[in-house]
Amino acid sequence: MGRFKHIGIQTRFTLYAAVGLALLFVWFSFFGLRSVRQATELVYEERLSTVHATANLLDDDFRSVAEDVHEFREELMAPAGPDADSATRRLLVHFSENSLSQFFLVNGVSLLDARGQILAEAGARLADRDRVNKAVTAKASPTPGDRYVLSEMTLPGGGVPLITIAVPVPEFAGPSQRIVAVQAGPKNTAALYDPNPSPTARIGDASPSLPPDARSQYRLEVISPGGIVVLGLGPDTHPGKFSIHFATVASAMSAGKPAVMLHRPPAQGTFGPHVHAAVPVGSSGFYLILEQQEDIALALPLQLQRQLVVQIVLGLAASILVAWAVTRSIVRPVRQLTQSALRMADGNLVTSVDIDAQDEVLDLAQALEAMRQKLMAASQQIEKANRELESKVAERTERLGEVLHRLISAQEEERSRLARDLHDEQSQTLGAISVSLDLLSRSLSNAPSQVREELERARDMAHALLEETRRLIYDLRPSVLDDMGLEAAIRWFAETHLEREGVDVSIQNSLPGKRFPASLEVALYRICQEAMVNIERHSRARHAGVALEQRGSFVQVLVWDDGQGFDAGMIESRQKASPGVGLEGMRERVRLIGGRLEIASQPGGGTTIKVEVPLVQEVKG
């Protein structure tokens, strides 16, 4: 089911249609095959009717022989001798002149008495009189019309078997009888048998007046109860030999029933598949078999079957093609709608939704087009509002920049003013006090030692206060920054604050020789100043360093130490509670000049502060 969900609409519709059509074609195929079976059964029934009619014809010929014998009954009752011989000869001539049988030709007549002794013969001689006598005398009281058809297997000089028709002829007075044995030679031929020949066609004719129809021609065999072919019409019938059909009809012969079937050859068979029908020939014990090749006998069912297969295949293919075309006509606009929706999702609201569709798909396309127009109008309004907002933001950013610049300038001016005031007033005053204390100490050289010690202590305090004031003045506005530049100012601050605390400081400067704008130099100096103050107060470092480098349009400052470090996240959260102090103050100053600050530190692993600020204007010499 998971895979089925990912099948496309066109494939799914085609599968639905194919499955439905397949079921429909299975239904029609069932009835088609049923019709084929019914047609096959009709063919079998027709073959049985034909073979019954043919068997009746052969049996009628046997009966006609018996009737002709009874017509000569009076002459056949003559005593043995010339009269009996003459009677048998006249009977043989009668058969030769009047026999119309399609299947055999009378070629001998024998007259036997009731004991089976031959009284007279004409034509072919009877080879097995005892067999004839036994067949006739087996019936206690023969009736007129009785006949016994035997296949003569003991042939004089070999050759094909003869058919012996034994007819009992009762005497006019008394229970005794005579037996007339009519010997008939089968009209075996390689020509096929036609149950309905043309008026001028006869069995064995090589050139009938009308072309034969293969559908009405058969191979005919008359086989004895032992399976020997007595009469064969058609090629490969082999009279006198064992019939290839005996194994298939033996059970029917033992039951005296008709049989019809499709006879397929064995693996090493020398004949092709064929349909044959077999029925008993009267009371003779013979079975008559009509055989026809499968492709001829079952031509109509096979043609129906082929047509059914072709129609099913073509119909199924045409139906799938139609289903594919119909689903394609549905899926194509759906795909166009999908592409339009994807374009809209990608932000392309300019291209209109234009597809060739009808019905609900067209309604969906129109709704999507209306949505596109509304989205485009809303997008245009948003773009307009964004442009206005960007203009306002740019304007306010510019104003904020000016304010920040003024703020920083005011801050630095205030620092400069405080530095001047400290230099002009407190520094001068402290200097005067220090000089006065020196003079007073010299003038009171004879004063008590306690007084001189207090004067020395006061003078030292005045000197220390003067030095602290001078350092404070340099912290507020180092003159070395204005006079010698950023590197010199940073180096001076490191020497006066870190190196005096025993921290080994290295300064690496890769900046070009040109000066940066004063505002930028002041900002960078203040950032480095704050970082080094933190190293002095908190890091307990033994080594520290400052690296200055220009990277394109940015200036990068790197301040590091190998001190005790700290948890940067925890310190930053604390600093946010008191903004403007420590790291947060550095971050705020960097943000004011449009830069970026990164702090990397962990307890026991030292601290690294990386600052990148943009160059706001060209450097000057």
Query: Residues 210-255: pLDDT tens digits?
Result: 455 667 788 899 988 888 888 888 888 888 888 888 888 889 888 8
Q: Name which residue leads in pLDDT, 455 or 66.
A: 66
Which of 75-79, 85-89, 198-202 shows the lowest mean pLDDT across its residues? 198-202
- Assess contact for 608 and 560: CB atoms under 8 A: yes
Kindly state the average pLDDT of the residues 114-128. Answer: 83
Instruction: List C-alpha distances in Å: 95 to 92, 122, 182, 583.
Output: 5, 12, 10, 144
Cα separation, 407 vs 577, in Å, equals: 23
In angstroms, the CA 236 to CA 240 distance is 12
Q: Could you give phi then psi for residue 85, rounded to 5 degrees?
A: -65, -40
Token pair belonging to 455:
């004067």
Q: Is there a domain that residue 229 lies in?
A: no
Can you give the pLDDT at residue 174? Answer: 54
- Report DSSP state, residue 150: E
Domain assignment of residue 121, yes or no: yes
Together in a domain, 582 and 500: yes
* Spatial contact of 526 and 589, defined as CB atoms under 8 Å apart: yes
pLDDT of residue 607: 92
**CATH number of the CATH domain containing 178:** 3.30.450
Distance in angstroms (rounded) separating the CA atoms of residues 375 and 67: 112
**Structural domain ending residue among the three candidates 184, 218, 234:** 184
In a domain, 67, yes or no: no
Q: Compute and round to an integer the Cα radius of gyration of the chain.
A: 67
Residue 207 has pLDDT above 70, yes or no: no
Give yes or no: residues 488 and 619 share one domain.
yes
In tens, the pLDDT along 410-437 reads 776 676 677 666 666 666 676 677 777 7
Number of domains in the chain: 3
Residues in the chain: 621
Host domain of residue 451: 356-477
Q: Do both 611 and 492 map to the same domain?
A: yes
Handedness of CA 339, 344, 347, 351 (dihedral sign): positive
pLDDT for 258: 92
Q: Is residue 192 part of a domain?
A: no
Q: What is the pLDDT of residue 618?
A: 40
The answer to whether residue 197 sits within a structural domain is no
pLDDT digits (tens, 9 = 90+) for 598-615: 999 888 888 999 999 988
Is the predicted pLDDT of residue 93 greater than 60, yes or no? yes
pLDDT for res 611: 92
d(CA 272, CA 288): 20
* Inside any domain, residue 372: yes
Q: Judge if 492 and 409 occupy the same domain.
A: no
Residue % of the chain over a pLDDT of 70: 82
Per-residue pLDDT tens over the stretch 487-541? 888 888 888 888 888 899 999 988 887 888 877 888 888 888 888 888 988 888 9
DSSP string, 340-384: HHHHHHTT--SS-------HHHHHHHHHHHHHHHHHHHHHHHHHH
Q: What is the CATH number of the domain that holds 497?
A: 3.30.565.10
Judge if 502 and 440 occupy the same domain. no
pLDDT band at 546 (very low <50, low <70, confident <90, very high): very high
591 and 489 part of one domain: yes
- Note the pTM of the prediction, 2 decimals: 0.51
Tens-place pLDDT, residues 438-491: 777 777 767 777 777 777 777 778 777 777 776 676 666 667 777 788 888 888
580: pLDDT strictly greater than 50: no
Q: Mean pLDDT throughout 104-108?
A: 88
User: Could you give the residue ranges of the DSSP H alpha helices within 353-485?
Assistant: 359-421, 427-443, 449-476, 479-484
Distance CA 608, CA 448 (A): 57
pLDDT tens by residue, 16-60 = 777 777 777 777 777 777 877 887 888 888 888 998 999 999 888
Q: Which two tokens stand for residue 228?
A: 């020997």
**pLDDT on residue 210:** 42
CB within 8 A of 180, min separation 6: which ones?
69, 76, 91, 109, 110, 111, 112, 166, 167, 169
CA dihedral sign of residues 376, 381, 387, 389? negative
The three-state secondary structure class of 388 is: helix
Asked whether residue 501 falls in the same domain as residue 436, the answer is: no
Residue 603 lies in a domain: yes
Shared-domain flag, residues 499 and 618? yes
Query: Rounded to an integer, what distance in angstroms lies between the CA atom of residue 219 and that of residue 195?
Result: 11
Q: Are residues 444 and 382 in the same domain?
A: yes
Q: Beta-carbon neighbour count of residue 249 at 10 Å? A: 25
Residue 620 confidence class, pLDDT cut points 50, 70, 90: very low
The yes-or-no verdict on residue 560 having pLDDT over 90 is yes
Residue that is last in its domain, among 439, 459, 477:
477
Burial of 152 (0-12, 13-18, 19+ CB in 10 A): buried
Q: What is the pLDDT of residue 427?
A: 64
- Let me know if residue 556 belongs to a domain: yes
Which residues lie across from 505 on neighbouring strands?
Answer: 544
Among 452, 477, 502, the domain-final residue is 477
pLDDT at 154: 46
Cα 414 from Cα 584, distance rounded (Å): 22
Does 469 share its domain with 367? yes
Any idea what DSSP says for residue 517? P
Q: Is 193 helix (H, G, I), strand (E, B) or coil?
A: strand
Half-sphere exposure of residue 469: CA atoms within 13 angstroms, side-chain side: 19
Mean confidence (pLDDT) of the chain = 79
pLDDT confidence of residue 567? 82
**Share in percent of the chain as helix, strand, coil (round to 5):** 55, 20, 30
Distance CA 183, CA 94 (A): 14
Say if residue 89 is in the same domain as residue 154.
Answer: yes
Residues 431 and 533 in one domain: no
467-490 burial by CB neighbour count: b if 16+ within 10 A, else e?
eebbeebbebbbebbeeebbbebb
C-beta separation of 227 from 242 below 8 A:
yes
Tokens for 165?
A: 């028709």
- Give how far Cα 134 sits from Cα of 127, 128, 424, Å: 14, 10, 173
Sign of CA dihedral 431, 435, 438, 440: negative
Q: What tokens appear for 204 in the block?
A: 């064995």
**How sure is the predictor about 144, in pLDDT bands with cuts at 50, 70 and 90?**
low
pLDDT at residue 608 in the model: 92
